[in-house]
Structure 1
Amino acid sequence: MSEQTPIPAPGGAVRVREMEPGDCDRVSAIRIGGWRHAYRGLMPQPYLDGLSVAEDAERRREFFVRAPAEVVNLVAEDAAGTVLGWACHGPYRDGASRTADAELYAVYADAGRLGGGIGRALLGESVRRCTAAGYPRMLLWVVAGNARARRFYERAGFRADGAEESFEVDGTRVPEMRYVRALAG
């Protein structure tokens, strides 16, 4: 049985629960919509336009089956059971090595519902679970030019720690910054 946590959000409560395989299509639609919204102007538009929800959903289903037990996928849903957002966290990935820290791998809310508390609910539940699991800190990577996401994380107590890296999308360098938050023990 999946754990469900009702979390107050502007415009009504959302429930955060563990993701199930049947959620993959909706999660991929939210993720691709999030990329197209958040990264417009930060990544090549032909790349964003070419993203496929169906292909992403297939990758998500494969990952979901193979994911280690310590990787947690969460969804937020409304009272009608419509999935409105997705988050994923687990052990921090530092190249080939692992640290004692947690990492927020992703958090996305339906782009048409931004500012409605969905991301806050998902991030709050990820932080709660990582704290309960005994992780000392939570880290995440955010695209440097994504000012909205950076403000979101800063309001949640995360701070840039000075680490930076970049990845390439269709010949365009996309810089990322690492954020960190200490977790209460």
Structure 2
Amino acid sequence: MASWRAAYAEVLPAEFLTRLSVTDRRRAWQERLRTLPDEVTVLVAEEREHVVGFAVTGPSRDRDAGQDTGELQSLYLHPRHWRRGWGSRLHERALRVLSHEGYASITLWVLTANDHARRFYERSGWACLGTTRVDTLGDSGVRVEEVRYRYVPTLP
């Protein structure tokens, strides 16, 4: 929850961020990990046996994507580990996993208002496609606009 609260402090309503529950999130992740499809990979970054971040990769979930399109579904770090290279290393590993799985292109969705994340992805070689969508966060009623990015892996 610390990652969401720090990353989205200027983007999402404060009352929504305050209501986030570690217990609820843990329960949701336990269920998600139990039912995870084989083609989805969860990468975990640890420092001294403590989780500092994670990334989730898999095939694109977009209706307009071909079978050769993968997706970086999420990438989060605890804010104490921001700007220490963890995000870049986790991001690079996620791209390697997707490239190794044979995806010709990779997409991701990021909150349009999340300038910090957008700059990170743009510095890392992602191109903003300009395609947007509006999503609702769980059953909160909070609606957010997201924009799609694309990355094309280079051959080894």
- Same fold by TM (over 0.5)? yes
Match of 2:13 in 1: 44
2:84 to 87, 104, 116: 116
Match of 1:23 in 2: none
Distance 1:60 1:171 in 2: 21
Identify unmatched segments of 5+ residues in structure 1: 1-31
1:162 to 130, 138, 141: 130
Distance 2:100 2:141 in 1: 41
Match of 2:145 in 1: 175
Distance 1:65 1:98 in 2: 27
Over the matched positions of the two proteins, sequence identity in percent amounts to: 34
| 2:68 match: secondary structure | strand
1:146 to 105, 114, 117: 114
Identify unmatched segments of 5+ residues in structure 2: none
Structure 1 vs Structure 2 CA RMSD: 1.7
Match of 1:77 in 2: 46
| Per-residue Cα deviation, 1:24-76 (whole angstroms, up to 9, x for no partner) | xxxxxxxx211111111311111110010111111101110101011000111
Distance 1:50 1:118 in 2: 27
**How many matched pairs?**
153
Distance 1:173 1:82 in 2: 32
Give me the TM-score of the superposition, normalised by structure 1: 0.77
Match of 1:125 in 2: 93
1:107 to 65, 69, 75: 75
Distance 1:127 1:96 in 2: 21
In the alignment, does 2:19 pair up with 1:35? no
Query: Given residue 10 of structure 2, which amino acid in structure 1 is its aligned partner?
Result: G
**Is the alpha carbon distance of 1:53 and 1:70 closer, same or farther for their aligned partners in structure 2, counting shifts above 3 Å?**
same
Distance 2:12 2:132 in 1: 17
Give me the TM-score of the superposition, normalised by structure 2: 0.91
| Per-residue Cα deviation, 1:92-137 (whole angstroms, up to 9, x for no partner) | 0014976321101110111122111111111100101111111001
Distance 1:134 1:49 in 2: 40
| 2:6 match: secondary structure | helix
**Is the alpha carbon distance of 1:49 and 1:95 closer, same or farther for their aligned partners in structure 2, counting shifts above 3 Å?**
farther
Query: Given residue 117 of structure 1, which amino acid in structure 2 is its aligned partner?
Result: G
| 1:93 match: secondary structure | coil
Structure 1 contact 136–184 (Cα < 8 Å) conserved:
no
Structure 2 contact 11–113 (Cα < 8 Å) conserved:
yes
